[in-house]
Structures are given as structure tokens and as C-alpha cells.
Structure 1
């Protein structure tokens, strides 16, 4: 929806209350909810009565605390059923490529590992050795490292074993590299991965995960460009744009976190 015309303020205030409740694991007292919404308790109570009448808010039994109601769950389930993660990722990747003027790859976990499903070429048209169907090394590429960090350890171990048994000339981009549990934890904490040395000399990459409502990885979005064009440092403006994009897509899939650290332990 792109219409930016005049809206209804009361709807926005009510939505703000719902957003506050959604951001807290525990039900909230009226005074706390009002304070967080910058409303008086009387104002907040009036909104909560209306939201409660349509099932979006309810009081916790036996207390004066408020939480999201059953209708909010219905809306969330409907949203998850109707949203196509790949379509969301493609639209966001196109915007990212246009903004950075770099190539962007959308990578999913397939039968052979981290697999590219779309590449949006940057204007420089550098040779990045990547196209739809390309399979990346799990530890020797930025995209692969994202999956190594966010997938279950048993699946990662099995994939590394399979990759190690491959014969030369398999077509996989990158080669297996040592990657410790501490390094994987660092990727999860930072919410991105890069790799050095790079699989293709002179070509850099940054990759971030797209997470769903359960904190599980759905895809990786990867920026690719010439080393002189793509800054892979932790304070890189390219990294900031990439992570903002990945987080926006993740939120579209119901991810509630403020960073791309996974929700699960």
C-alpha cells in the first residue's frame, strides 16, 4: 500500500498500543502500557475497551494486565499463510541493488546446500561467477556461512561431510574452510557474514539472514561486488543497508527481534 493520504489518528493510536503489546513477552499493566504509548491511563483504557470488543486485546484472567487477544493470533496466522517469503525477498533485493549499485543474490537452502535462486546484476557487471542454480560452499562463502551459523548443527555437520566427499569439478563455488563454533556464534551475534580469502579474487561479498516468526532462517540476501566497490568492514555503509533490508524482510515474515540474532537459543 503506497497511498500516503490523510489517515485516521485513532486507528494509528490503537495500532501503537497493539505494537507495544506485541513487543513484550509478558502482559502489561494499564499504567505501563499508557506510559509506553505516551497516553494518559484514561485514554489508553478507552482504546483497550474498543480493541477488546473486537478480540484484539484481552485482560489476563485474574489480573489487571493486558495482552494481545485471539483475533490478533488469527490475523498473524492469516498473514503467514498469505505472504510469499521469496517474493518479499525479491522486491527488497531489487531496492538494495538499485540503492547500492551492486549485485544482490537471493540464496536459499536446497538439496545440495546454499543455492542461489536469483541474481540482480549491478551496473558494473563484474564477473561474480554466480547465477541462478549456483551452489555455494558452506564455510568458504559469505552466503554459506550464514546458513552454517543459523541452521541446526546436525544439518550443518551432515552438509559439511557431504561437501567434503565431493569430487573436484562439482561446480560448487568456494572451498571448505575451518570455521569454529566461536566464529559461528560471532556471525549470529553480528547478523552477517563475509569471507577471506574470497572464492573469486577481487570480488567481495556480505550476507545477512532473513528470519521468520520463529527465528528460523528462510533465505540469505547477499551483496556482491568488486573489492574496491564493496566495503566489507563492520562499519560499512553497504553492511548497514544490507542488514536494514534483511531485517525489513524478516519483520514481514513475523520476526519480532530488533536485530538479526535468532530468537531461539
Structure 2
């Protein structure tokens, strides 16, 4: 007779190992962009020696990496590839990509799409301007809620329960707007559906952002045009605003918004 218990034991061990590995990957994402071994071990509730063994395997497969200067751990290129593949299944990414490319061609300025992630507004697709010098906006970048045009759109249109904690944290910063100023700006943004900022996130760099809506008028993402002065002044009534709003309406219409 075949011992079924002996046959299933190795399988069970593999499943358990996979579960531990995914727990550690999830923790690396939650503690992004990087974390120490001790903090990671505390976060997942495992001995540091056990976490270290799994990290070695994850690094060998490209799912984790270690900074040689700080010795901190973070997600590797393979994890980014898997994450982007998952994001690519989202309707907003599929539908927005060709329209972002067209908007980039019309304005010759960098355009990008952001969605709401576990750390706030996250850049998921970028169309770089075609010129010798471009602004580096990386996929995976997390933008401040109150310190970027993209974040301000999320703050205005996302449910309060989603943004409250991050907003309260950023309102404590010295550079944060007053509550009254933020409320007034939010009301205007909800009316105009476009947010212009000038040098807010980076001196000499301006941006325009507009919301994308899906069915039920739920915020699905934010499209942003960003450029450097004096070539891009982000005028509130300029041609760039008209083209951005038209692009946002077109994408939203495709999603039922």
C-alpha cells in the first residue's frame, strides 16, 4: 500500500513555504521602499533567522533586493514586474495608456497616470516627453496627498475614510496648507475638475491634474501633465487644461463614468 501521508507531507511543506514567502513579500510592500531585517521580522511575527533564510531565496529569484549601503531590504525587479502585470489588468490602465500617449504628443510634456495605492497616490504609467531633457517620473513613485497636484485630486474626490489618516499626517508638516485653505481649494477643484500647481513638489516644475471616473462616478485614477518652467506654465485657462480635461472625459466615458 502507498502511504498517502508520506505523499502529502512534502506538498504541505511546499504550500506552507509559499505562504511564508508571500507573507514576507506582502510585508516588504507594506514597509516600502525599504526596511531592516529586524523590523521586517517584527512585522511578520517571525524569528529574524527564519525571515533571513526566506529573503535569501527571494533575492535569488529577483523578488527582493538588499541595499549594499544600508543593508535594508526591499522589493526586487521581479516583484515589480508581477505588480505591473496585475496593474495592467485594471481597466483604467488599459484604457488610459493610448490617450496618455496622445496627450503627451499634443503637449510635448510628460504625462502620467496614478491610482490609489496602500501608501497613497501611486504612479502606474508614464509617457515621457520627447525632448533632450525630460522630467524623471518613475512608475511606482508614491506622491504626497497635499504636496502634489495628483494628491490634491485624490484628496478632493476619494472617500474621506480612505484619505483621512494620510491627510492628518501631512497637515502636521510645516509646509501644509491651513484647513480653511485646503477646504476652499477642494471645493474649487470639485467644481472645475482640474488642479494646477506651480513649484509645489519641486521648484520650477509645474503640473496639471484631472480625475478619471468609472461607473457610479467613483474615482478610478488621476491623469497629470508635468513640465518645467518656462516651457510649461500650467495656466488655469490655457490650452493644456482644455486638452487634459478632454482626455480625462474621454477615458472616463470609456469606463462608464
TM-score w.r.t. the length of structure 1 is: 0.58
Report the CA distance between 1:189 and its aligned residue.
Answer: 0.4
> 141, 147, 159: which is aligned to 1:140?
147
Aligned position for 2:217 = 215
2:121 is the alignment partner of 1:114: yes
Cα distance change of structure 1 residues 126 and 111 upon mapping to structure 2, 3 Å threshold: farther
Report matched runs for 1:25-174 at 5 Å: 84-124=91-131, 126=133, 128-163=135-170
Aligned position for 1:22 = none
Deviation per CA, 1:214-246: give whole Å up to 9, x if none: 111101000011122223222110110000000
Higher mean displacement: 142-151 or 152-161: 152-161
Q: Is the Cα–Cα contact under 8 Å of residues 115 and 122 in structure 2 kept in the other structure?
A: yes
How many corresponding residue pairs? 166
Q: Is the Cα–Cα contact under 8 Å of residues 221 and 246 in structure 1 kept in the other structure?
A: yes
Report the CA distance between 1:158 and its aligned residue.
Answer: 1.3
Deviation per CA, 1:4-58: give whole Å up to 9, x if none: xxxxxxxxxxxxxxxxxxxxxxxxxxxxxxxxxxxxxxxxxxxxxxxxxxxxxxx
Cα distance change of structure 1 residues 201 and 127 upon mapping to structure 2, 3 Å threshold: farther
Report the CA distance between 1:194 and its aligned residue.
Answer: 1.9
C-alpha RMSD of the superposition: 2.2
2:200 is the alignment partner of 1:193: no
Report the CA distance between 1:127 and its aligned residue.
Answer: 5.1
Q: Is the Cα–Cα contact under 8 Å of residues 126 and 225 in structure 1 kept in the other structure?
A: no
Higher helix share: 2
> 218, 224, 243: which is aligned to 1:241?
243
Unaligned runs of 5+ in 1: 1-81, 167-174, 256-265
Q: Is the Cα–Cα contact under 8 Å of residues 230 and 238 in structure 1 kept in the other structure?
A: no
Cα distance change of structure 1 residues 135 and 225 upon mapping to structure 2, 3 Å threshold: same
Higher mean displacement: 116-125 or 87-96: 116-125
Q: Is the Cα–Cα contact under 8 Å of residues 145 and 151 in structure 2 kept in the other structure?
A: yes
